[in-house]
Amino acid sequence: MTKTNAMRLLSSAKINFDVFTYEFDENDLSGIHAAQYLKIYPCEFFKTLVLKGAKNGVFVCCIPVDKELDLKKAASSFNDKSCEMIHLKDLLSIAGYMRGACTPVGMKKNYPVFFDESINNLEFVYMSAGARGLALKIKPDDIINYVNGKTVSLTK
């Protein structure tokens, strides 16, 4: 298995994590598919969403794959009045990751990162390792602290 940039960064920071592989489907890049393949609850697998606030620029939200982001809560967390998802065509140039491989670790810039507060109920959280078909398993505090993240209410 090739190490992704996210894996290299976490390793160099001496943060413990495990990596799992799963078969991804080009027609279904959802985290639900990944969670089913890994035989974990969808609430344990977090997807990484990249957004742009109306006045404050780009930020990142990580939420369980079975939940829907509340844009008003996301904007409020970022001290903005509104926000929207960045266009899919811009994801690689802004975040450095393609759809289905986005992770808050090792983005092109250190964007503000917000995690849904449900992460506090988990012993471990799973998320993309920076490539399709690779997932990190990591302690919530480790990932939150590494990316200087905050936990807030983000879902509907």
Q: Is the pTM of this model over 0.85?
A: yes
Question: 98: which residues sit within 8 A by CB, 6+ positions away?
Answer: 91, 92, 132
The distance in angstroms from the start CA to the end CA of the chain is: 37
For Cα atoms 120, 122, 126, give the angle at the middle one, nearest 5 degrees. Answer: 110
pLDDT of residue 83: 98
CA 56 to CA 33: how far, in whole Å? 33
Q: Which residue has the higher pLDDT, 21 or 26?
A: 21
| pLDDT tens-place string over residues 41-61 | 999 999 999 999 999 999 999
Residue 110 has pLDDT above 80, yes or no: yes
Q: Where are the alpha helices (DSSP H) in the chain?
A: 5-12, 31-38, 71-77, 91-95, 140-146
Collapsing DSSP states into helix, strand and coil, what is residue 21? strand
Contact predicate 119/126, CB 8 Å: no
pLDDT at 112: 98
Transcribe 44-64 into DSSP letters: GEEEEEEEEETTTEEEEEEEE
